[in-house]
Structure 1
């Protein structure tokens, strides 16, 4: 995507080049859509999703690993990504009955669903069993509930519950996800007692963070658990390592320079952030490359790479990326409603809220520089620092506390395009606060035309 220049040495965080998004920006389509919707909106680039999925599948094949990719639906509610997952031979990771029904309705086969999340509601468990979805079981009690569901089914009705037992990461003992070693032993015993009602297919984990070594270490532990479970008579043929594959929004030099220059004077109201709370906006191994690097990582205490362990044990690797499948798959557009002059910078107010750009829950903000699309292509170049606030009555409702160094003067009516927002940014925190409409999603199917073709996303709810 077109990026903000590093004018006058002002701290910047330019997004990586994105020809597909650049084509949309250059087409003149966005001002027309902003006029039509009368508020902020998102545009989606599903071809990028397709490319990311193929690259993930290629990384598994190149390492000789039998694996399967699930799209983590929580990362974006758009229907088009579920449709593309089904068409691309992937599954979908869901955590609610609504998400499960949405995935089924958009073409995902029941056996290609994995159900995650803690303390799942009875309706979700019932649907998952009926459709043959794989279920990551978080507690022994949840396993008992599944066994009871299957036992109550009429003859020839509900199929056995397919389960993975979720492990509590030893390195994150305070995580609210997963079972302790003692609970796992209890769960495996109950799987045996349940007989044909439960088909125990392996283990899974939820691990926070993006470091590859801890993920490889825990994956190796799950392989060992599979071998232990097999010795007890359980199937245990697969493990799920969740998501956590980082992507790069910017280049290494820009990211390192930004962190070095990070200072409260570059933020509205001298707001302070801890650099450790920021997402790692650059990673040396990103997306499919991160998966390849993970498979080539040697788990602690093992002589071979993770890929070797999986192949030797005959274990299938399942993964549930969200952000990594959505890299460069969309952007978010706001219109500037007002410009207020401050001492040495400007405060822009846009026609939406920060709830459509979701980093607040990490005590952070979305850092890649927004792109300014001026109504009037004329004007002079210069340095025009500006922060971006929302159209609400909340002092803290800021899309960008950071003073972005625009190289053109922002004016009322201009558009701001936040790049690469498809992964978690678009709808994780969305809210119709002040009765403002939720930003619609526009699918841009063809960016190689003089005028890109677009349609509304077909999300059911």
Structure 2
């Protein structure tokens, strides 16, 4: 991927804030246009509160197209399901539905809201890690496809299907046997077949139909997906030999994306950070936080506890690697795409982050600045670390600083400075970024800090109302129109039997 250069608007936006070792975000045109109007953004913050999530679902179509093009070239039937857990906003469910995608849901609330928006149960897959009775009842009454993780939930679903008099489609979740890697999700092939043989013994009719198989893997390795596909093909054949008619393999999520245009920025950061961990240069992070790395006897140990924010290939080219991979099958090797096509199998996937690439930003107001003991500055924002964080230690993307008519004391020296963005929780380490930032033109109270490309997982997966601080509101941006709060902020939570998930 090549760095986008020569755009003065983008360069100007990046000029006011960067990491000591810069990691400049790839920006969508709509994000650039919004950030060039800081007073407009300040008005939205005044009205809706800080922080504020801004959403634009239009990049979804491009991201979907990359995957569909790769599948078409391989002559594979692909069905994409948007992983709702990546972002709670209903605007993305609506866009997925408009584009003919399915929706992957992980709770009763997500399922109820998605049904209320008019998405057909035939286009919904329920992959929740834990499925309480209320969720299984809604699955049974609606007819949504249920990914079966274990025998307990399968038996509960059978009971629910009988109560509602419905035949429910199900897909057992396979736990692929990978070298040195285990997943807590699903069962082995042997366990699945033993479960099927017990519950679908000869002459026993169940109100469930096995329509496919599913797997979920952590990480983004294409070769591991190829290996898992080989196991799935063999499981499909074993199920068909028992009289079942599964028609798809669902590879779950983990389709990679990239937050940067240039691998050199990513490589430079890690080279310098490893040198800092070894004490060979000043730390790049607050109090030398290792981001998963530690020094021992002159060596760097450990692995980064981070999403790989730069990846290549992503989306379409990555899927091409999977579909052109070789499956080691008992009767000989087969190319993945050929193996699917020969058996009449549809390929399904459930991307979240990679579908929402370019679809959001999070903005927060600067409320204070103060010097720390080492001469750096602490920049306090009206937000907390749960409002731009996933399970990683850090969001390794440089924020943008926008001037919006500062309210600070002119006697306070504000630049050029270096320091850290800190949050509103009464916790010593409520840092919004562990990385040390440079502010060449200083920072003023009332300025706006923008975290780019946060729609995928970063907005909502960990958000908290601790201290009774309200959750960030979600504003849907459409060029040329007045932005509106997403429906998730305008209606109450879904309640079984009452609707309430859509407008």
TM-score by length of 2: 0.84
Q: Structure 2: how far apart are the matches of 1:453 and 1:433?
A: 31
In structure 2, the partner of 1:169 is 176
Aligned equivalent of 2:289, options 256, 271, 274: 271
1:46 counterpart SS class: coil
Correspondence 1:12 to 2:25? no
In structure 1, the partner of 2:81 is 70
8 Å Cα contact 2:379-2:422 kept in structure 1 = yes
Moved more, 40-49 or 22-31: 22-31
Aligned equivalent of 1:395, options 405, 412, 428: 428
1:375 counterpart SS class: coil
Moved more, 325-334 or 339-348: 339-348
Deviation at 1:298, TM superposition (A): 2.6
Deviations 1:119-162 (A, max 9, x none): 41111112112212111101123222222333344xxxx33110
In structure 2, the partner of 1:242 is 252
8 Å Cα contact 2:176-2:231 kept in structure 1 = no
Aligned equivalent of 2:443, options 395, 398, 410: 410
Q: Structure 2: how far apart are the matches of 1:7 and 1:430?
A: 25
Deviation at 1:173, TM superposition (A): 6.2
1:128 counterpart SS class: helix
In structure 2, the partner of 1:141 is 152
Deviation at 1:202, TM superposition (A): 1.8
In structure 2, the partner of 1:367 is 396
8 Å Cα contact 1:4-1:407 kept in structure 2 = no
Q: Structure 2: how far apart are the matches of 1:38 and 1:202?
A: 45
In structure 1, the partner of 2:223 is 213
Q: Structure 2: how far apart are the matches of 1:110 and 1:31?
A: 41
2:378 counterpart SS class: strand
In structure 2, the partner of 1:427 is 460
| Number of residue pairs the alignment of both structures matches | 450
Deviation at 1:85, TM superposition (A): 0.9
Aligned equivalent of 1:179, options 170, 187, 197: 187
In structure 1, the partner of 2:208 is 198
Q: Structure 1: how far apart are the matches of 2:18 and 2:472?
A: 35
In structure 1, the partner of 2:5 is none
CA gap of 1:296–1:191, structure 2 versus 1, over 3 A, is farther
Q: Structure 2: how far apart are the matches of 1:327 and 1:382?
A: 33
8 Å Cα contact 2:19-2:435 kept in structure 1 = no
CA gap of 1:440–1:369, structure 2 versus 1, over 3 A, is same
Deviation at 1:304, TM superposition (A): 3.6
8 Å Cα contact 1:76-1:427 kept in structure 2 = yes
Moved more, 50-59 or 131-140: 50-59
Q: Which runs of 5+ in 2 are unaligned?
A: 1-9, 278-282, 293-302, 494-503
1:338 counterpart SS class: strand
Q: Structure 1: how far apart are the matches of 2:259 and 2:342?
A: 36
In structure 2, the partner of 1:88 is 99
Correspondence 1:332 to 2:362? yes
Deviation at 1:338, TM superposition (A): 0.6
Moved more, 286-295 or 30-39: 286-295
CA RMSD for the aligned pairs? 2.4
Q: Structure 2: how far apart are the matches of 1:277 and 1:323?
A: 17
Q: Structure 1: how far apart are the matches of 2:116 and 2:18?
A: 52
8 Å Cα contact 1:60-1:292 kept in structure 2 = yes
Q: Structure 2: how far apart are the matches of 1:223 and 1:416?
A: 49
Q: Structure 2: how far apart are the matches of 1:10 and 1:434?
A: 32
CA gap of 1:385–1:304, structure 2 versus 1, over 3 A, is farther
Correspondence 1:61 to 2:94? no
8 Å Cα contact 2:415-2:443 kept in structure 1 = no
Moved more, 253-262 or 3-12: 3-12
Deviation at 1:376, TM superposition (A): 4.8
Q: Structure 2: how far apart are the matches of 1:25 and 1:407?
A: 18
8 Å Cα contact 1:191-1:200 kept in structure 2 = no
2:146 counterpart SS class: strand
Q: Which runs of 5+ in 1 are unaligned?
A: none
8 Å Cα contact 1:5-1:14 kept in structure 2 = no
Q: Structure 1: how far apart are the matches of 2:418 and 2:319?
A: 38
Which structure 1 residue ranges, 4+ long, deviate > 4 Å from structure 2?
5-9, 379-383
CA gap of 1:96–1:433, structure 2 versus 1, over 3 A, is same
Q: Structure 2: how far apart are the matches of 1:79 and 1:9?
A: 33
Moved more, 45-54 or 170-179: 170-179
TM-score by length of 1: 0.91
